[in-house]
Amino acid sequence: MLTLLLILLPLLSGFILLLTGSKNARQIALVLSLIEFGLALFALSTLKSGALETLNYNMPWIPNMGISFRLGMDGISMLMVLLSTMLMPLIVYASFNKTYNNAHTLYALMMLMQSAMIGSFVAMDGFLFYIFWEVSLIPIFFIILMWGGENRQKTTFKFFIYTLFGSLFMLVALIYLYLHTANHSFDIQALYAAGRSLPLVEQGLIMGAFFLAFAIKMPVFPFHTWQPSTYVAAPTPGVMLLGGVMSKMATYGLIRWVLPMVPDGVHEYGYLIIGLSVVSIIYASCIAIIQKDFKYLIAYASIAHMGLISAGIFAMNMQSLQGSLMEMMSHGINTVGLFFAYDIIYNRMHTSEMTKLGGIRGVESRFAFLFFIIVLSNVALPFTNGFIGEFLLILGVFQTNMVAASFAGLSIILGAVYMLRAFQKMMLGETNSLTLHFPKLEKQEIITLSIIVILIVVMGVYPKPILEITESSIQTLLQGIQ
Amino acid sequence: MKELIILSTLGVLSLIAGLLRIKRPFMVVVIAGLLLNISVCVLDWNHNENLYNMMTLDNFALAFTIVSSTLAILWFIVANAYFQNSNTFSDHYALVLFSMTGGLLMVSFTNMVMLFLGIEVLSIPLFVLAGSHKTSMRSNEAAFKYFLLGAFASAFLLFGIALLYGSTGHFDNAGIASFLGANKISGMALAGIVLMLGAMTFKVSAAPFHFWAPDVYQGSPTMITTFMATFVKTVAFAGFYRLFFLTFMPVRAEYALLFAVIAALTMLVSNLIASAQSNVKRLLAYSSISHAGFMVITLLCMNSSSAGTLLYYTLVYSISSIIAFSIFKWVKTHSAENEEISAFTGLIRRSPFLAVVMTFALLSMSGIPPLSGFMAKYMVFTAAIDNGFMWVAICGIAGSLMAVYYYFKIIIAMFAEVHESSEIKVPANLRFVLVVCSIALLALMLFPSQISSLI
């Protein structure tokens, strides 16, 4: 019931926002998203107390097609729900520095997207998962289409068709598995059983079909071409949702739907995907190094990090999976942090071209300090959350595939190159005529950045509670595979 | 029998109303009559009334009659202006109602003669209605084209029936089916089946006999196009399905591949051509053809659940078509008769209501959840894969992607910024139908099996 409530509350919030109109929309959105976060924390305490059954919800939906409204949560789902419910108020609060036209529609769409994303994290029915997966596309499509920047029509079009293309392959794979279940059911356990009974080559094909859908959403090279332009065209709240939470739907999907469903296929052909992910890391990092625009740089950095997560997932061991979940968490927070820093700079300077900026530290040192910690976390410096994730990931990948791990390790070095250079270009050096008039940070901006920084440091120093949430679930998952 | 009487009486009544010059109130009579028709159908459920071995009002027939009458009611409400603004309104009413009578024959026949009669009674009024804009070149062209090609198709149908009669000695469907089941199929019977299949493919406007549809749809008055794309398509498909289900099931293996090719070809070709259209009416015509391709899959996979799938698909498709065509009509009249996609530019500023409802319809037609169009497409894809026609499903998915391309061209235009725009007011009747249809699109997604397991 609690899980159902987690989906319904944002849905309801969306309608409330649509009805109340523009006035005070953002305050209402903030309150509602905080309530949702509270609900998620309550669910966490339920999970900790071991009452897993209370988090399950099952209602037949279309019985003659074996489809039911089956929800459930284990540690992995819980972490994702926590991530999205935690980021939502942050994203809403971060948007307080700007007044949007038709703000109530914007926040309503964000809430609807939240509902769909949480739905995809807790769905335990293949059909339901697919529905939530697709539904989440519609709000973000309209957010970018209506509030985006230049070229938004072309970009949203490409983004939508691209992601839909991948999803349809997943749909075919799901139908194929469904037809192989014992009594035609979309129940996750039935699908697992059906997938495991398939011959090796078919398992590989199913894995490929799912991976295509997820790889486009993450994105992984060579399916990433929609991403940089979409990130650049999207308004700040939209891009925070895309990079912070939506990309995690894909990596979560890999863990929930691919690994336990076709384990033999993953064992046999997983190295292909690890290889692709490593290529993705190096490719995206190298492109990030030569970027002139900070927003493009964040976009490519994001591809690099997602590549590392994907490699970790397919390495399929305790460390790599723990690392990937930890990294999903910290990448979500850091991406929101980076995009907020970008937003602060862009609102003031009306450019994000790094060579035009410089010396902001001399004008607004508080901003430089907070921004620096976010940068450090992206570089995976010890005592930041980025370090925990990347360290575990590389350790885990190393156990499975030494060559891949040694190349994946480059992500940290290359990451340091592009991130620190970006910081240096924008924040350090001579203050020029443009940055001389860099206005001081608003209170709201300092608070937002501080929350992000506190999260980064706390998670980096004391990651144990987060790792504990997922530990037993991953153990169960790995046992099921062996 | 009651259904037949109600519909034909309504047709005759409308002629009398024309003599008495009762104009405005007559709409109420028609709608009341159709509601009566629906309730009679509900009462007849499970009775399997047989009429002289010519037609049987089984649940299949009743379900399609209920659905098509519901569509007709919605259509009549939207098309109010079409009737009110014409001097010869009673002829139009009568023609539409007689055409509906033909539709009833088509969904309930158990004899080839009734099938043929049904098709003719359905089509002949449509030839007239297609040309009912007498002063418009395009409308005349549409009527002429539809009539000539329709006559051709009818001839093929008749020829097919004759060949079947020659080889089996039966006119009634059950007799033909038992003969085909008992004997080895002859070349003549097979030729008859293929001819009938061609003729029916023409009637439902599936490739490769779809060439008439874009011109006729574009040339006819928009409201008549809506009628053709929703009501006529629904009953034509029901007739098509009924013909093959009742008659040719025993020799299904002989022609199954033909259906697969028709479905795949329709889904690919029409969507490909639609992507290149800039005229919205023509684009919607091609989209209507492409949906025929998806519906053909239910004929390809004919089994116990596919009739329900067809019912669901036609209902969902028709509801979204009613929305799309009626909004198109209204936007066109408020954009200086502009039929291009550009007429929709900035609709969100001109009328947020219309833009949102149109988005619903287009998302449903492109098969994106949470609109019921997704469920409809999901059902046919599952059926295709289940019957081993993976490649047809892949063609369908490729077609759907192309469809997303052109539907989203309209959506993106609607949400584009415009500097100057005049507000569009939405009349109450249109608003009512649009609200009902949008709710139906969402509700059908939540409760699909209530429709699809009816028959």
ipTM of the complex: 0.91
pLDDT tens, position by position, B364-416: 999 998 899 999 999 999 999 888 898 999 999 999 999 999 999 999 999 88
SS (H, E, C) chain B: CHHHHHHHHHHHHHHHHHHHCCCCCHHHHHHHHHHHHHHHHHHHCCCCEEECCCEEECHHHHHHHHHHHHHHHHHHHHCHHHHHCCCCHHHHHHHHHHHHHHHHHHHHECEHHHHHHHHHHHHHHHHHHHCCCCCCHHHHHHHHHHHHHHHHHHHHHHHHHHHHHHHHCCCEHHHHHHHHHHCCCCHHHHHHHHHHHHHHHHHCCCCCCCCHHHHHHHHCCHHHHHHHHHHHHHHHHHHHHHHHHHHCHHHHHHHHHHHHHHHHHHHHHHHHHHHCCCEHHHHHHHHHHHHHHHHHHHHHCCCCCHHHHHHHHHHHHHHHHHHHHHHHHHHHHCCCCCCEHHHHCCHHHHCHHHHHHHHHHHHHHHCCCCCHHHHHHHHHHHHHHHCCCHHHHHHHHHHHHHHHHHHHHHHHHHCCCCCCCCCCCCCHHHHHHHHHHHHHHHHHHHCHHHHHCCC
B381:A137 CB<8 A: no
Q: Quick one: pLDDT at residue A222? A: 87
Q: Does residue A82 carry a pLDDT above 90?
A: yes
The arithmetic mean of pLDDT across residues B172-190, rounded, is 89
Q: Quick one: pLDDT at residue A276? A: 92
The arithmetic mean of pLDDT across residues A277-295, rounded, is 91
pLDDT tens, position by position, A140-197: 999 999 888 888 888 998 999 999 999 999 999 999 999 999 888 999 999 999 998 9
Q: Does residue B236 carry a pLDDT above 90?
A: yes
Q: Does residue A353 carry a pLDDT above 90?
A: no
pLDDT tens, position by position, B111-147: 999 999 999 999 999 999 898 888 888 888 899 999 9
Is the distance from CB of A117 to CB of A158 less than 8 angstroms?
Answer: no
Chain B residue closest in CA terms to A180:
B386
Q: Does residue A50 carry a pLDDT above 80?
A: no
pLDDT band of residue B233 (cuts 50, 70, 90) is very high
pLDDT tens, position by position, B77-88: 988 877 777 677
List CB contacts (< 8 A) between A157 and chain B. 408, 412
Q: Quick one: pLDDT at residue B231? A: 93
List CB contacts (< 8 A) between B358 and chain A. none
**Most confidently predicted of A12-26, A41-55, B106-120:** B106-120
Closest CA–CA distance from residue B404 to any residue of chain A (Å): 7
The arithmetic mean of pLDDT across residues B216-239, rounded, is 92
Q: Quick one: pLDDT at residue A124? A: 92
How far apart are the C-alpha atoms of A206 and A262, rounded to whole Å? Answer: 8
Q: A464: which residues sit within 8 A by CB, 6+ positions away?
A: none
Compare CB distances from B393 to A142, A145, A172 and report the shortest one's residue. A172
Q: Does residue A96 carry a pLDDT above 90?
A: no
Q: Does residue B64 carry a pLDDT above 90?
A: yes
Q: Quick one: pLDDT at residue A436? A: 82
Greater model confidence, A165 or B17? A165
**Residue A383 C-alpha from the chain's centroid:** 22
Q: Quick one: pLDDT at residue B133? A: 82
Q: Quick one: pLDDT at residue A110? A: 93
Chain B residue closest in CA terms to A64:
B449
pLDDT band of residue A453 (cuts 50, 70, 90) is very high
The arithmetic mean of pLDDT across residues B296-300, rounded, is 91
Q: Quick one: pLDDT at residue B281? A: 92
Q: What percent of chain A has pLDDT over 70?
A: 100
Is the CB of residue B381 less than 8 Å away from at least one CB of chain A? Answer: yes
Closest CA–CA distance from residue A372 to any residue of chain B (Å): 38
For A176-198, b/e burial (b = at least 16 CB within 10 A) is bbbebbeebbbbbebbbbbbbeb
List CB contacts (< 8 A) between B389 and chain A. none
Is the CB of residue B416 less than 8 Å away from at least one CB of chain A? Answer: yes
Q: Quick one: pLDDT at residue A482? A: 74
Is the distance from CB of A4 to CB of A128 less than 8 angstroms?
Answer: no
Q: Quick one: pLDDT at residue A434? A: 81
Q: Quick one: pLDDT at residue B391? A: 92
pLDDT tens, position by position, A365-414: 888 899 999 999 988 888 888 899 899 999 999 988 888 888 888 888 89
Compare CB distances from A131 to B369, B394, B448 and report the shortest one's residue. B369
Q: How many CB atoms lie within 10 A of CB B219?
A: 26
DSSP 3-state of A50: coil
Q: Does residue B24 carry a pLDDT above 80?
A: no
Q: What percent of chain B has pLDDT over 70?
A: 99
How far apart are the C-alpha atoms of A237 and B105, rounded to whole Å? Answer: 57
Q: Quick one: pLDDT at residue B196? A: 92
The arithmetic mean of pLDDT across residues B238-266, rounded, is 90
pLDDT band of residue A37 (cuts 50, 70, 90) is very high
Is the CB of residue A155 less than 8 Å away from at least one CB of chain B? Answer: no
Is the distance from CB of A210 to CB of A242 less than 8 angstroms?
Answer: no
Q: Quick one: pLDDT at residue B84? A: 74
Closest CA–CA distance from residue A146 to any residue of chain B (Å): 7
β-bridge mates for residue B279, sequence order:
B340
List CB contacts (< 8 A) between B400 and chain A. 168
Tell me the pTM.
0.93
The arithmetic mean of pLDDT across residues B242-257, rounded, is 88
The arithmetic mean of pLDDT across residues B2-26, rounded, is 83
Q: Which of A11, A15, A59, A62 to mutate to test the interface with B (most CBs of B within 10 A)?
A: A62
What six digits make up the tokens of A78? Answer: 């819980």
Q: Does residue A313 carry a pLDDT above 80?
A: yes
Chain A residue closest in CA terms to B406:
A157
Q: Quick one: pLDDT at residue A425? A: 87
What six digits make up the tokens of A175? Answer: 């139908």
Q: Which of B309, B404, B452 to mutate to test the interface with A (most CBs of A within 10 A)?
A: B404
Give the strand pairing for B55-57 and A57-62: unpaired
pLDDT tens, position by position, A219-241: 898 898 999 999 989 999 999 99
Please tell me whether the peptide bond between A222 and the residue prior to it is cis, using omega within 30 degrees of 0.
yes
Q: Quick one: pLDDT at residue A358? A: 81
List CB contacts (< 8 A) between A153 and chain B. 412, 416
Compare CB distances from A179 to B370, B385, B453 and report the shortest one's residue. B385
